[in-house]
Structure 1
C-alpha cells in the first residue's frame, strides 16, 4: 500500500513539474544583447524598383544587318529591330540533324538575306529558350555557342538559320517550320526606313558593320531614382544574407554603408549609386554556359533585380565561363551604355552555386528632361578610314555607336559616342588623332 502511495505522489510531482515547465516556456522572453549597428527588418518583398525578365528578352542581338545586292543596311528606328527579333522568336525550328559542323567558313554575303550579331558567344543551349524547337532537335543544341545567326530563304520557300561561331568557325543549321516566316523576313527586308552600313573587313576576324552616315542620336539627361537607403536595400539584404540577426552596418568613408554578417559583405556606395557584394565561397567549379546564364537570371528574378525603365533594359553582354562570370549591360533604345565607372552601367555576377560576387547599379533611369542637340560625331565612313590608318586596328572585333554614362549627382547624362571591342573588352574609341574631329 505504501509503495502505491509513493508511486502516486511521484506521478503527481512529475505532472506538476511538467505544468510549471510548460508555463515557463509560454512566458519566456529571450533577452538578447543588442549588438551595435544591427539592422533587422525582414520582409519578403522584392526590389520595389525592379521586375522579372525572361531569358529571351535578356539575350538579344546588338545589330541586325540586311544584305541586298551587295549593300548592307539596318533599321533607322531601333524599335523595329526589337520587333523583328520578337517575331523571329515565335518561329518553330527543326533540323540540327548534323549537329555542330567544324571548320566552317563565314558565309559569303550573297548567301544570306540577314544576319543577327550578338555581343558575345551565346551558349547553344540557349536556343531552346529563344525559339520553339521540335522535340528531336532539343538534344542537338547541348554543346557549342554562337555569336551570329544568318538567315536565308531556300528554294522551298522556307527560311533557314545558320548559328555561327566566328572564333571557332563552327556552325549549326536549322529550318523554320512556322508558316509565313519567309513573308516576315521579306517584310523587314523591304522596309523603307533603313540606314546604310559599311562592311569593314580589314580586321583579323569577321567583318564589322558600321552605320555609314554621321550619327543623329541626341544627348540625353535623366532624373534618377536611387535605392541606396537601408529600406531600399532590405530585399537585397534578405536575399544575400542568411541570418539577419547578426547583420551589422557601418558607415563608409566618402558616403554609403557596408553591411556584414562576419563572412559576407555588401558595400552600398550612395554617392556613386552602385553596390559591391562578396561572399568568399571556397568552391570554384566551372559551370557550363547555359546553366550559368540560367542560374544568374533566376537569381535576379528572385528579387526582381532587373531595374529597367520604359526605354532601357539589361542585356547579356559578356560571359567568362572559366571565371563563372556574367555581365548584363544597360541598353537604351537598343544602344549599349558604357559608364565612366562601368559598375554604374552593368550587373555583374560571379557564380559559385550562389553569388560569389554581385556588383550592380543602385539607380534606375527616370524621366528624360533634357534632349541636347546631337553631338558632332564622325560619320561611319570617317571611322572606317580612321581604322585603316590606325596601327593595331586589326585587333578590333566590333565598333558600336552607344552612350557614355556620366554621373552628374542628381541626374545622369547619356552622351553618344563611338566604342570599340577588342580582347580587353569595350572602351570608347580614341578620336583625338582625327583631324578636326573630337569626341562630341
Structure 2
C-alpha cells in the first residue's frame, strides 16, 4: 500500500471516529446535571405540602370515661373531628395546680402517641396565655372533666413525671352541652366499649369488639435522587458520587447521603459549638426545615420526641403505618445539634392511588390482652394500637406497589412490633422505630 493511500485511510478513520464521538456527546444526557447557582438549588423540593403544629401533633385516641367504664368512637375519623372541635374551644384561667388525681363522674382523656413539651399546645389549643416556660414539662395526654354544678369544663395537663400540673377552664355552656350529649349516647353504634390495661407503662385502652378491616394495595411515587442531593448539599456540583447496586452515596468532607431508591439516610459531622444552646426547640427546627423542602409528602405526625430528636410517622385513615425494612419507609427522623441538622432519615415514597383492597379479620381483644399479659416485660409496653404494616412488593408485571395490611401492634422503647400470636412462647421482635 502506498504511503499516500495509507494516510488517506487513516484520515478517514479519524474523521469517522470524531463524528461518532461528537454524535454521542450531543445525544448523551447525564443523569445528574451539575448545579452552579443558588437559584437552581432553591427550587429543589420533595413535592409535599406545608405543615404547622396542628397538622403534625394529633391524638391517636380519645376515650370517654364514666362510672368506671371506657368508650371510644368506633371510627377514628370521628375522634379526629372531635379533637378539631376541641381545638377551637376557648381555654382560660390557666394556672399551676397540685398533681393529685382529679376525679369526676365524666371525663374525656385525649391521648397522644408520645410525650411532647406542654408549650406546644399553645399552638394547638385555643389558650389565652402561655402554658408554661418549663421545657422539661412533657405531657402525652390531657383530660377534660365535666363540672355539672357549674356547667363548665375543666382541663388538666399532668407532666409525665407527675411532678407538675396545669389546669384551665372552658366556660362555654355550648361546649359543655356538646360533651354532655356524647356521654348520654355512649350506647349508640358509633361508640365502642374499651378494656383498660394498667400494668403497662401507661394506661392503654383496647376496643372490646372484634374488628374486620381493609388491606390496601397502593401505587406510589418515588422522589428522585438528584432532588434529594440538591436539597442536602449546598453545592451539589462539588459532591462526589459512588454507586453500588441500587444504592447511591453522595459525600463531601463533612456530609454523607445514602439513597436506596425508597429511602435516604443523611449525616452531617461538621464541627459546631455543642455548648451553645439552640434558639429554637427541635420541633420548631425540624418543622421549618422539612417545610423548606416540602418534605411532608403525606400525612405525617409526631411519633416520638426528645430534646434533640424527633420522629414523624406516616398515618393512613387515622391509623399509624409501620414498616420494618432496614430503611424505615414509614417515618421521618431528624436529630439536631445546637442549630445544625446532624441526622436525617426518611421514606422517599408517597402513596398514590388504591389499586386493590381486601378484607382482613383481626384477632379479638381478649386474645390480644391475654398475649400482652403473658409478657414478662409488660411494664415496658408503652402502647397497643391497630396499625398498618407497610411492605413494598412487585406485581405480576414486575411493577412495585405498597401493601398496607392491618394488624395489632405493641410499642416498647419507642419501637413497634406485631403483637405475637397467643401462646407462641416468644415475643415478636419485628419492629419499626
* TM-score > 0.5 by shorter chain: yes
* 1:3-402 → structure 2 map (5 Å cutoff): 39-40=34-35, 42-47=40-45, 49-98=47-96, 101-102=98-99, 104-105=100-101, 107=102, 110-135=104-129, 137-138=130-131, 144-154=137-147, 155-168=149-162, 170-178=164-172, 180-189=174-183, 190=185, 192=188, 193-203=190-200, 205-230=201-226, 233=227, 236-251=228-243, 253-270=244-261, 273-283=262-272, 284=274, 291-308=281-298, 313-321=299-307, 324-341=308-325, 343-352=328-337, 353-375=339-361, 377-402=362-387
Say which SS state the counterpart of residue 289 (structure 2) adopts: helix
Residue 274 of structure 1: how far off its partner (Å) = 0.4
C-alpha distance in 1, partners of 2:276/2:64?
37
Q: Normalising by the residue count of structure 1, what TM-score does the alignment of the two structures yield? A: 0.79
8 Å CA contact 1:127–1:141 kept in 2: the answer is: no
Say which SS state the counterpart of residue 372 (structure 2) adopts: helix
Residue 69 of structure 1: how far off its partner (Å) = 3.2
- Structure 1: stretches of 5+ with no match in the other structure: 1-35
How many corresponding residue pairs? 383
Between 88-97 and 385-394, the greater mean CA deviation after superposition: 385-394
- Structure 2: stretches of 5+ with no match in the other structure: 1-30, 395-399
Which residue of 1 is the match for residue 11 of structure 2? none
C-alpha distance in 1, partners of 2:349/2:414?
27
Residue 187 of structure 1: how far off its partner (Å) = 4.4
Residue 49 of structure 1: how far off its partner (Å) = 2.8
Structure 1 residues 120-149: Cα deviation after superposition (integer angstroms, max 9, x where no partner):
1110110111112214x4556765111111
Say which SS state the counterpart of residue 217 (structure 1) adopts: strand
Say which SS state the counterpart of residue 344 (structure 1) adopts: coil
Q: Normalising by the residue count of structure 2, what TM-score does the alignment of the two structures yield? A: 0.81
8 Å CA contact 1:46–1:304 kept in 2: the answer is: no
Say which SS state the counterpart of residue 57 (structure 1) adopts: helix
Distance 1:337 1:288, change over 3 A: farther
Say which SS state the counterpart of residue 82 (structure 1) adopts: helix
Q: CA RMSD in A?
A: 2.8
Q: Which has the higher strand share?
A: 2
Residue 177 of structure 1: how far off its partner (Å) = 4.5
Say which SS state the counterpart of residue 95 (structure 2) adopts: coil
Residue 328 of structure 1: how far off its partner (Å) = 0.3
Residue 261 of structure 1: how far off its partner (Å) = 3.0
Residue 165 of structure 1: how far off its partner (Å) = 3.0
Distance 1:247 1:343, change over 3 A: same
C-alpha distance in 1, partners of 2:311/2:276?
16
Between 361-370 and 213-222, the greater mean CA deviation after superposition: 213-222
Residue 424 of structure 1: how far off its partner (Å) = 5.3
Structure 1 residues 351-377: Cα deviation after superposition (integer angstroms, max 9, x where no partner):
1213111111111011112111214x3
